[in-house]
Structure formats: C-alpha cells, structure tokens
Amino acid sequence: MDRPDAFAADFLQVRQAAKLTKMLNDLIGPPREPGCEQLREQLRSRESKRLYRRRLMLESPQQTHISMAGREYLAFCSNDYLGLANHPQLIAAVCQGARQYGVGAGASHLISGHFSAHHALEEALSRFTGFPRTLLFSTGYMANAGVVTALAGRGDAIFADRLNHASLNDAALVSRAKFCRYPHLDLAALERQLAVSRAKRKLVMTDAVFSMDGDIAPVAGLLALCEKYDAWLMLDDAHGFGVLGPQGRGTASRFDMDSPRIVYMATLGKAAGVFGAFVAARPEVIETLIQHARSYIYTTATPPLLSHALLKSLELIEGEEWRREKLTQLTARLKDELQSLRWKLLPSTTPIQPLMIGDNDEALEISEALRERGILVPAIRPPTVPSGEARLRISLSASHDREDVARLGAVLRDVNKGFR
C-alpha cells in the first residue's frame, strides 16, 4: 500500500521542482538554448583564423561561365573535367529516363530499388574498366565507407597515404581497424609499416589522383608491396576516372594491370558529369559488399534516371577523345601563362592545377581579387590541406577554351603585382 504514497510524494516533488524552475526563470530570464553559446564561440574562433567557409550560390548550370547574383563569372572551380554536367545529350537522357522509370527509386537496392538501368550501368562499367564486377553506390563518400568497413574491422590494419581524401580517413576510423598513415607517396615508409604488421587482414588505400594536389599515386609500386605483404589495394580514382588512361578508363588502366587485389572506386559526379559512384573488383569482393556494406544496404537507391543518363555519359567519355586532348593542351597553356608568378604551380599533369600560396589570408585575398575581376578560383585551406599549405585550386575543364586560360593568366599576373 505504500506505492500510491510514494507516487504522491514524487508528484509533489515534481510540482515543487516546477515551481522552483519558474521562480528561477523569472529571476534569470528564459532558459538558453543548450550549448549554442559554445557553438557561437567555436564559429567565432574559426572565423578569426580565416577558416570560415561560405557557400557560393549558382543560378546557372555547372559550366565554365556561371552566374551568381546576376553576375557572370569565368569559373575554375568544378570537378566537371570533361564538361559533361550540362551536356544536351545527358539532359535528354535524364528526361527519357524519367519517363521510363519515374523520379525516385523508392526503396533500397536489396528491397525493390534495384532497377534495370542500375544493372545495365554496372555491366557497362565492368566492361569499360575491365574489372569483373561493379557495384553502384549513391556517393563516393558512401562507397569508401562501405568498402573500408566491409573489408576491415577489429584486428585488421589500414595503411593510408597522409594526403588521402577525408572520406577514406573517416571510413578507416569507423572501421575500428588499426589506422596507420604513411607520408605522401612514400613507398619505403609504407613498406616499413607493412613489414611489422601482424594484422589479420591488411588494406592499403590511396587516392589515385590526389584531390588537392593533382599528383598521381605510384600505383605499380603500391601493388608490388601489396603482393609482397598480402594486402588489398584500394584505389580511389575520383579524379582519374574519365580523365586518365585510354578512353578515360582511369588510373588503374593507365598502369595496365588487373590484379585480383585491387578494389577500384570512382565517382560519377565529377568527370562523368552526373552523380554517384561505383566500386569495381573481383566478384567475391562485390558480393561481400552487397552482403556487408552498410552504406549500400541501408539507404535508398539513386534515381534510376541518373543511371540511364550515365550510360550516355559513358559513351561520351569513351568516344570523345578530344575532351582529354583538350585538357592536356589547356594544362600546358596554363603552366605557360603562370610561369612568371611569385606563386608556383604544383607539379601536376592532371586538370587539377594547384597554385601554392601558403598563408590562409593571402590565399583568400587572391581568390577575392580574382572574384572582383569576374573569375572564380577557390582558396583551399586547412583542414582540407595541411596547415601552411593554403592554395588556389585551379581546375580545368574540356569546355574551357584557350582564351579563358589566357584571361586567368593575365588577371593573376595583374593581381600578383599587388603582392611584390
């Protein structure tokens, strides 16, 4: 019989507590939003270090001349290397795909969201890249998360280039495997780490083309080490697919190898001009991903109309060699144009041409000065790049022309005068 009493006592206490809270509120004002002051402080600190990021807002399609707030800019910002993001044939394919499949996939791949368009694209990508099987993911970020966590866990070890993309690092941390990073491109350091590892399973992972430096991983050397130490090699070719190799088949094809140890990932929102990503590898790897990759299983499939458009994109990538030839010409032209600057281009042969500045403030100032003159080049700052290595990331597209690059050169030389 003491339970109702206890309940009544609790109830009274609750009433008293509520009264007390009200009294306090009357004294000190309404309760603050939890933690917002702390967040404001954190944001202010980021701002004061000149690390605050702000978004541009485009009002036109992604292309070399874009419009923002009613003004037109010549842009060197996007990863649309082949100039396909606004291609009329892709737009037509999207419309046709929408008529055939509707808009949304409506379910995950393992329930009822796997459409014939997804499947046809997977088969076309296997043919194109030369890997036995392919699996589509919604984004590159999710593909990396899926592969790394499906292949490595507790008791395993991951070996990663220090300048790898954030998505690979995040995936490694989530996997709970031991995470060893080696200095950029340093095969000897990697070998020392592999030699002493007692992990059950080893996974070496690298950007194939480094996203903020534009240089290319020593894939053949990495593969040799993986053979020697019985490790998997995961290549993230977000920036090589469509751009490098014969017909744009990517970085792996450039090194002409078909080792069963390679797990190849590439994205479809960069050179391919659309959206999404895929992983290509041995059938056992792909089946493992279908069974275990959580970022594949627990998410809605991408709209099949995108896969439908990507089939067309793949045709253009394969068939229009002139886009890659043009990129090579534009890259050479850019190097010429920027030779006399106090800032130096990194030694990159890809369409990613970073102009090294160093200081965050200076990088922002240059980017701002270009913007005032109608040219957009993003300033890349830490933590995207190491501290003290702020840069302008100039990215070229096959739809730029020689005059665009000449104009960038002239304006940069002019801005450069202000910094002597």
Ligand X SMILES: *Cc1c(COP(=O)(O)O)cnc(C)c1O
What is the binding site for ligand X (CB under 6 A)?
139-141, 144, 165, 167, 207, 211, 236, 238-239, 267, 269, 277
Q: Nearest-CB residue to ligand X?
A: 140
3-state per-residue secondary structure call for 26-48: HHHCCCCCCCHHHHHHHHHHHHH
Minimum Å gap between C-beta 44 and ligand X is: 29
- In sequence order, what E strands does 249-316 have? 262-267, 277-281
| Closest CB to ligand X among residues 271, 411 | 271
* CA neighbor of 97 nearest in space, from 361, 364, 275: 275
- Looking at the DSSP bridge assignments, the partners of residue 390 are 358
Q: Residue 278 corresponds to which amino acid?
A: F
Count how many residues are written for the chain: 420
Burial 190-202 (b: 16+ CB within 10 A, else e): bbebbeebebeeb
Please return the burial class of 86, using the count of CB atoms within 10 Å of its CB with bins 0-12, 13-18 and 19+.
middle
**Min separation Cβ 109 and ligand X, Å:** 17
* Distance in angstroms (rounded) separating the CA atoms of residues 333 and 279: 34
* Cα–Cα distance for residue pair 27/29, rounded to 1 Å: 6
Q: What span, in angstroms and rounded, lies between the C-alpha atoms of 275 and 353?
A: 23
Is 211 among the catalytic positions? yes
Q: Nearest 5°: CA angle at 120, between 271 and 145?
A: 55
Question: Closest Cα partner for 310 from 64, 96, 79?
Answer: 96
The distance in angstroms from the start CA to the end CA of the chain is 89
How is residue 298 written in tokens?
């627990």
Any catalytic annotation for residue 87? Answer: no
At its nearest, how many Å lie between ligand X and the CB of residue 407? 27
When the beta carbons of 239 and 393 are compared against ligand X, the nearer one is 239
Q: How far is CA 244 from CA 92, 161, 310, 345, 378, in A?
A: 27, 21, 18, 20, 23
Using the minimum distance from each CB to ligand X, give the nearer residue, 78 or 139.
Answer: 139
CB of 69 to ligand X, least distance (A): 25
User: Does the annotation count 167 as an active-site position?
Assistant: no
Residue 306: how many other CB atoms lie within 10 Å: 26
Tokens matching residue 8: 């009544």
CA 211 to chain centre: 8
Catalytic residue chosen out of the listed positions 109, 118, 239, 326: 239
Q: For residues 109 and 333, which CB has a smaller minimum distance to ligand X in the complex? A: 109
Give 272 or 286: the residue with its C-beta nearer to ligand X.
272
Nearer to ligand X among residue 221 and residue 269 (C-beta): 269
CB of 202 to ligand X, least distance (A): 21
Report the nearest approach of ligand X to the CB of residue 394 (Å). 16
| Minimal distance, residue 71 CB to ligand X, in Å | 27
- Give the residue with the Cβ less far from ligand X, 207 or 215: 207
Active-site pick, 270, 308, 312, 326: 270
Residue closer to ligand X (CB basis): 289 or 338: 289
- The residues, any chain, with a CB within 8 Å of residue 346's CB and separated by 6 or more, are 213, 214, 215, 353, 354, 355, 356, 391
Shortest CB 318 distance to ligand X, Å: 21
Q: How far apart are CA 130 and CA 127, in angstroms?
A: 5
Q: Which residues are catalytic?
A: 211, 239, 270
